[in-house]
Structure 1
Amino acid sequence: MYNFTKSLCWVFMLVLAFAGCKDDKEIEPKNALMHDGREFEISKGLLVHLGEYPEGGSGQVLFLSSEGVKIQESGGHIDSIYGVGHAIYFRLVSASANALDEGEYTFDNDFTIEVRTFFEPYVVFNSNFAAEDGEYYELYEGKLTVKKDGPNYILDVDCIERNGKHVTAHYKGPLTFYDEK
């Protein structure tokens, strides 16, 4: 009886140990911007086609923002951005005119206009977009990783702002597309 009880205890402990384990694939990061130990939610994204570059590639804007940031449309085009919230902005070069290519985009300080590069990136926190105020930081280096999962994009950002602090972001969701060329 003692051996049976001892074996039953071991089985019970193993079940408890494995019940608490989760597959890493099940843990999805939040849609958020991180800066200086602070977390800011982001809930939507825009992809704006600006036209083709003579050097090759398609000029686009990627804009990820929080719920409080609103887009005013007129005739299917962006008229203005207003509201209060947080956002991260990239001008980038993609091979496609109406989508982001999968892969890693890198900061292009020299404006070489090569495919899978970005330039003029910035992030704003607690901004009133109509008044153009809030915490504004230019990003000086880093990368943007793009993956697709059906209609959703999975975007991961790891950049450094002008004060040397990291700005990271994760977004999984659709991108609203505008053709502004």
Structure 2
Amino acid sequence: MLNFTKLLCVFMLAGLVLSGCKDKEEVDPADTVSYDGKSYDLAKGFMLDYGQLGTGQGHNIDLYLASSEIIIHEKAGMPDSTSGKGQLIFFEMFSSVPNSLAPGTYNFDALQSAVASTFDFGETLFNANYQTGTGEIYRIVSGKVIVEKNKDIYTITFECVDYLGKPIKGFYKGALKYYDAR
């Protein structure tokens, strides 16, 4: 009986240990944006750096997150146009540091003061079809974007509201291609 009890304790302990282990898919949310009851995949992102626009202002870095079907075309090493079908999210952000998005919370700034840790413009483009020129555009009027960074990997979480009062929430974890537009 004592051996059976010990064996049962070993199995229970092993079960507790193993149940505490999670793989990446269980820990990180999916790279998606959700709007109006629908969820859309995000697969890539890039930053367009315009530099510091004035004394006391943050560094203007435009953040773009897109689905895999959206193609960014370059000309002379800079984004020139987009094509394809899918989703595109845009935030005009102001970082406290040059050349990257500083980790932290960026709050919507309706006054467009361009101070660090704010964003003053955002839009979503759902179901875009660049060939036909169709899609659904929604302007962001409030919210926050949380940026985390580990080496070259960004974790972007956003909770915003569009001009219709509908929530726009999303998560993206991955590299962001950098373009210097200064």
User: What is the CA distance between 1:180 and its match in structure 2?
Assistant: 2.1
Q: Give the fraction of aligned pairs with identical amino acids, expressed as a percent.
A: 31
Match of 2:121 in 1: 120
Gaps of 5+ in 2: none
Match of 1:104 in 2: 105
CA distance in 2, matches of 1:75, 1:46: 16
User: How has the CA–CA distance of structure 1 residues 115 and 8 changed in structure 2, closer, same or farther, with 3 Å as cutoff?
Assistant: same
Match of 1:27 in 2: 27
What is the CA deviation profile of residues 115-154 of structure 1, one whole-angstrom value per residue up to 9, with x for unaligned ones? 1111120112111135442122111111111111111111
Q: Do 1:50 and 1:180's aligned partners in 2 also have CA atoms closer than 8 Å?
A: yes
CA distance in 2, matches of 1:130, 1:58: 34
CA distance in 2, matches of 1:78, 1:177: 10
Match of 1:137 in 2: 138
Q: Do 1:81 and 1:130's aligned partners in 2 also have CA atoms closer than 8 Å?
A: no
User: Normalising to structure 1: TM-score of the pair?
Assistant: 0.88
CA distance in 2, matches of 1:173, 1:42: 10
Matches within 5 A, 1:155-174: 155-174=156-175
CA distance in 2, matches of 1:18, 1:72: 48
Cα RMSD, aligned residues only = 2.1
CA distance in 1, matches of 2:70, 2:49: 20
User: What is the CA distance between 1:14 and its match in structure 2?
Assistant: 3.6
CA distance in 2, matches of 1:62, 1:154: 12
Q: Do 1:94 and 1:100's aligned partners in 2 also have CA atoms closer than 8 Å?
A: yes
The letter for the 1-side match of 2:49 is H
Count of residue pairs the alignment pairs up: 180
CA distance in 2, matches of 1:176, 1:38: 27
Alignment of 1:36 onto 2:36: yes
Match of 1:16 in 2: 15
